A and B are shown apart, each in its own frame.
Chain A
Amino acid sequence: MEFLTAYLTANNIIFFILAAIILVFGFLSVTTTKILRAATYLFFVLFAIAGLYLLLTYEFIAAVQLSVYAGGIVVLLVFAILLVKNLGEETEKVSCQKKLVSAIAAISGVVISLVTLFGFGFQNNESADELTANVNMETIGHTLMGVEKYQYLLPFEAASVFLLACIIGSVVVATNLKKEDKK
């Protein structure tokens, strides 16, 4: 019992609950035959991942996860799904051969990640703890806006050009589709 209570701290329990949510809904979103439900399950997965970031006290990344992934990407996916014809029909059942091949691919992925994780030899390094504990918004801001070594103003500006390219690309594609829609 003592071992159990030492292991079951509030942090660990919350982690296990979040991990269970991520695994269950991730599995459901892959196995469901209704495509809109898959998007909904994906939303729950992304939401729970934001919870994991909060558990690690990375508030900024949690906020990004919520606003960009759980907010933006899922909305985009849902709209993309709603553009599809014959939406109400269920997707076709996958053949046994495909199931076998994808199962082998998934299991080999799991094996590779597990081997890498256990081979890495994590150390309880205090200097590393200090480094990660002090990542607050001020640090991120100074890193993003400075021009010294290990500061990234140029990539920040390059990101704006990248976003501009994305906007122009999406407008070009969508306006072409609009014209086809009218015909």
Chain B
Amino acid sequence: MSWIDIGDINDIPLRGARKVKTAQGCIAVFRTGEAEVFATSNTCPHKQGPLNEGIVHDRKVTCPLHNWVFDLETGEAQGADEGRIMTYAARVEDGRVLIEAAKLGRQAA
């Protein structure tokens, strides 16, 4: 798998997220632990809420607009709500955040 370096882990607040612009639309990169990250589509399937602005708890995020909760590992909406967000492989290496290049439709730099 090839990876794209998108920045320093400390640019994402612990239990927070940042947005990354891509040709395919915005991705949200979540930091759930000191060195644990997840990447998903930034757009809530309900009414397009920006997920990078949600509250991050455990390995989940709550959409800021109407509180749908998504599992960051599977992308599935939790509880009674139905929907799914796209997930991307992401990892931390030497303090850098890497996300998978393949699904973004481009080669790693």
Q: Bound pair: A and B?
A: no
